[in-house]
Amino acid sequence: MPRDTVALSVALLGQVIVHLHEGERVSGRIVEVEAYPLNDPASHAFRGVRPRCRSMFLPHWHAYVYRIYGTYTCLNISSEVDGDGAAVLIRAIEPLEGISLMQWRRKTDVLRNIARGPGRLNIALDIGMTHDGIDLDSSDEVFLEAGPAPEQIAVGSRIGISSAADAPLRFYDAASPYVSGTKRLNALGVSYRPQACS
């Protein structure tokens, strides 16, 4: 996986997040992310290490989970080297395994609404503050697996922030119906094919 935050964001699309719940796999394919790179005014890490955002400064591939608006939590993956604060926010997944359990947790049967949005996907996967700071490589509870990259990746501006709001740092699978913020999907009108590997 790339160490650069933006490169990692693109590489994460298509990867599968798995949470083992009493031996049952609950999982989904990442279809939407946002990058919070170094020196980003919108990043929690912008003003240095704080108790809440300390996990952003962990080495590459650790979980940063924080609470938002009192009720919900958001999952990020730390992206840079130890001591540098940056991460990728996971914004939406396509439900794959353990769907009935996710439907129960989310109190809806509508597949499209199960994990569209960062707060929603954490409820669906039962990821919360207890997972803050875990190493996703060594954890046998929450981890990632390789999955098919999107055929086409779209780029847009990030959602719900005020500073650096125009930065094109939101990436999503252009063909997926499981992405959030539909009204802003074409905010930049930019899309491109990911770099072809020969």
Partner DNA sequence: CAACGGATCAGCT
Partner DNA sequence: GCTGATCCGTTGG
Q: Which residues are near DNA by CB under 7 A?
A: 34, 36, 42-45, 47, 50-53, 56, 64, 66-72, 74, 76, 87, 89, 106-108, 113, 117-121, 158-162, 180, 183
Q: How far is the CB of 198 from DNA (least distance, A)?
A: 34
Between residues 148 and 160, which has the closer beta carbon with respect to DNA?
160
CA distance 20 to 140: 8
Q: How far is the CB of 47 from DNA (least distance, A)?
A: 5
Between residues 39 and 196, which has the closer beta carbon with respect to DNA?
39
Range 19-22 contact pairs with CB under 8 angstroms and sequence separation of 24 or more: 19/125, 19/126, 19/127, 19/141, 19/142, 20/140, 20/141, 20/142, 21/98, 21/101, 21/126
Do 164 and 35 contact (CB within 8 A), yes or no?
Answer: no
Between residues 50 and 193, which has the closer beta carbon with respect to DNA?
50
- Torsion sign, CA atoms 69, 72, 78, 79: negative
Q: How far is the CB of 63 from DNA (least distance, A)?
A: 11
Q: How far is the CB of 110 from DNA (least distance, A)?
A: 10
Residue 191 corresponds to which tokens in the numbers above? 């899309």
Residue bearing tokens 């890490």: 45
Q: How far is the CB of 95 from DNA (least distance, A)?
A: 14
Between residues 27 and 158, which has the closer beta carbon with respect to DNA?
158
Between residues 42 and 99, which has the closer beta carbon with respect to DNA?
42
Name the H helices within 13-155: 99-106, 111-114, 118-125
Backbone angles phi, psi at 153, to 5 degrees: -110, 135
